[in-house]
Amino acid sequence: MISRFAQGLGRILGRSGPPQDEGEGGSISAWLRVACLAALAMFVTVPIDAASIRGVEIVGDSITLRFDGPVERASVFTLDGPRRIAIDIVGAHAGSGGKAGGYVAAVRQAQFNPDTARVVLDLNGPALVRNGGFSTDGRSLVIEVAGATEAAFARSIDAKRKAFLPPVAVRAAAPKRADRSAVRVPLERAGSSNGPPLPPVTGAKGTGRPLVVIDAGHGGHDPGSMATDGRKEKDAALAIALAIRDALVDSGRVKVAMTRDRDRFLVLGERREIARRLGADLFISVHADSAPNSAARGATIYTLSEVASDRVAAAVAARENRADVLNGVNLGGENEDVSSILFDLAQRETMNISADFATLLQREMAAKVPFKNEYHRFAGLIVLKAPDVPSVLLETGYISNEEDAKLLFSKSYQRDVAEGVRRAIELHFARRLASN
Ligand code: ZN
């Protein structure tokens, strides 16, 4: 049920005001608050004499936005499920609508926050922005779109926004705005010690015991995929993650920490950073898969690679990586193209250990847990990108399949998964100890 969540995002995309708390019971984690503020800090101006969007015209592949005064800047990005191109204009008030044409099935406008108008173009096929720019008087922004392959469109979801600035003279003439720097909250730097509080470590006592971080996927406003009866991936993931923790604690051979032990939202990078800051020796992210084909069943293990092993893996990466996007704002700040990251030697070593663990994990789980034939896949999953912590993402079955969904929510299957994971973890560390 990829699209249900995505459509939910779509519905709230055009809502005015800053990103709202979609979390349960109105409780929003401090981290999400910081992330939201940091995202908002991109828009640090207050409109005094903001320009208005006077019209959106589409002629062929060319989309023209007209303003009745100078605006500050614009940026363009793509969203999936349904496919959209969004244009944020800082220093502008939203107008209303616009006439569809070409690749654009519908035009919507809304005030994204007090400073920023958002124009959303609903696409009738995969299309991408190829080019664009402001006119010399700064009163119009022209954007050229062109048809794209499904794969290229999917890749664009995680790409950086394309930014457009009006000519310098026009910007200088734009009305001065008050600085709202009080809300500037810098995002935590990777590896810094002053992040959100770290979760408690349980399990084996004493020094020298390896630490495993168990990550229950999704949570809070992000339900993940959904079963036909409405049950949510985030709940299955949490129940299975807790079962794994309990199995490891009972066995007492390793230390354990959870990225979340209740229904709350964490951005993907934060999950990974918890493992890094704790100095974890292994990171396991627990999820449940979904597919348009309701007959698809079985578990899969993902490890990180520069390129996805196949289209299914690429689609899973796109879906799981989208967890960071709320109201069209990338809370995780993970804009870089995964494929363009330079994987250094340390990361390659980590990737090899992760892949070895994936093999062991399948072997130890397989007696009780049905796997897909191609059980080990590779993809550019944000949550797995710690360069120094071997990491796997375990799709424990298809929540979109009725039989698998029954298993995922059953205590006995959760225990079977947990026992298999525990055995694999303990063997993994025993092997590493022996080889050192
Ligand atoms: Zn998931």
Using the predicted structure, report yes or no on whether residue 294 has a pLDDT greater than 60.
yes
Does residue 344 sit in the same domain as residue 251?
yes
Q: Are 275 and 389 in contact (CB under 8 A)?
A: yes
**CA–CA separation, 269 vs 387, rounded Å?**
12
Residue 238 domain-assigned (yes or no): yes
Residue 196 domain-assigned (yes or no): no
Does residue 63 sit in the same domain as residue 91?
yes
The predicted structure's pLDDT at residue 379: 87
Q: Are 327 and 334 in contact (CB under 8 A)?
A: no
For 30, the domain range is: 1-43
Q: Which residue has the higher pLDDT, 188 or 144?
A: 144
Distance 62 CA to ligand 1 centre (A): 37
Residue 193 domain-assigned (yes or no): no
Does residue 321 sit in the same domain as residue 419?
yes
Distance 27 CA to ligand 1 centre (A): 22
Does residue 183 sit in the same domain as residue 298?
no
Using the predicted structure, report yes or no on whether residue 305 has a pLDDT greater than 60.
yes
Q: Which residue has the higher pLDDT, 306 or 233?
A: 233
The predicted structure's pLDDT at residue 204: 92
Q: Which residue has the higher pLDDT, 45 or 159?
A: 159
Residue 374 domain-assigned (yes or no): yes
The domain boundary, picked from 143, 164, 187, lies at 187
Does residue 92 sit in the same domain as residue 231?
no
Of the listed ranges 100-114, 349-363, 422-436, the one predicted with least confidence: 100-114
Average pLDDT, the chain: 80
3-state helix, strand, coil in the chain (%, to 5): 35, 30, 40
Q: Which residue has the higher pLDDT, 234 or 176?
A: 234
Using the predicted structure, report yes or no on whether residue 269 has a pLDDT greater than 60.
yes
Residue 219 domain-assigned (yes or no): yes
- 70-86 residue pLDDT tens: 888 898 988 887 888 99
Distance 241 CA to ligand 1 centre (A): 13
Distance 430 CA to ligand 1 centre (A): 30
Does residue 56 sit in the same domain as residue 24?
no
Distance 73 CA to ligand 1 centre (A): 35
Does residue 32 sit in the same domain as residue 50?
no
Q: What is the mean pLDDT of residues 309-336?
A: 72
Using the predicted structure, report yes or no on whether residue 5 has a pLDDT greater than 70.
no
Q: Are 34 and 183 in contact (CB under 8 A)?
A: no
Share of the chain above pLDDT 90, in %: 43
Residue 371 domain-assigned (yes or no): yes
- Amino acid letter for position 215: D
Using the predicted structure, report yes or no on whether residue 19 has a pLDDT greater than 80.
no
The predicted structure's pLDDT at residue 274: 92
Which band of pLDDT confidence, cut at 50, 70 and 90, is reported for residue 330?
Answer: low
pTM exceeds 0.75 for this model:
no
The domain boundary, picked from 152, 187, 222, lies at 187
The predicted structure's pLDDT at residue 232: 97
For 20, 200, 235, 268, the CA distances from 220, given in Å and listed in that order, are 12, 20, 10, 13
- 22-75 residue pLDDT tens: 333 334 444 444 444 444 433 333 344 688 999 999 988 899 999 988 888 898
The predicted structure's pLDDT at residue 247: 98
Distance 236 CA to ligand 1 centre (A): 10
Number of domains in the chain: 3
Does residue 59 sit in the same domain as residue 123?
yes
The predicted structure's pLDDT at residue 171: 64
Distance 341 CA to ligand 1 centre (A): 23
The domain boundary, picked from 43, 58, 73, lies at 43
Does residue 213 sit in the same domain as residue 242?
yes
Residue 195 domain-assigned (yes or no): no
Q: How far does CA 141 lie from the centroid of its chain?
A: 29
Residue 417 domain-assigned (yes or no): yes
Does residue 37 sit in the same domain as residue 55?
no
Q: What is the mean pLDDT of residues 246-264?
A: 97
Q: Which residue has the higher pLDDT, 174 or 197?
A: 197
Does residue 162 sit in the same domain as residue 217?
no
Residue 84, token pair as written in the block: 């959209």
Q: Which residue has the higher pLDDT, 40 or 319?
A: 319
For 14, 36, 156, 179, 406, the CA distances from 41, given in Å and listed in that order, are 19, 8, 23, 11, 44
Q: Are 85 and 121 in contact (CB under 8 A)?
A: yes
Distance 233 CA to ligand 1 centre (A): 7
Q: Are 90 and 180 in contact (CB under 8 A)?
A: no
Does residue 25 sit in the same domain as residue 54?
no
- 103-156 residue pLDDT tens: 999 888 887 777 788 898 989 999 999 888 888 888 899 999 999 998 999 888
Quick one: three-class SS letters along 78-124? EECCCCEEEEEEECEECCCCCCCECCEEEEEEEEEECCEEEEEEEEC
Q: What is the mean pLDDT of residues 362-389?
A: 91
Distance 291 CA to ligand 1 centre (A): 12
DSSP state of 179: B
Distance 405 CA to ligand 1 centre (A): 14
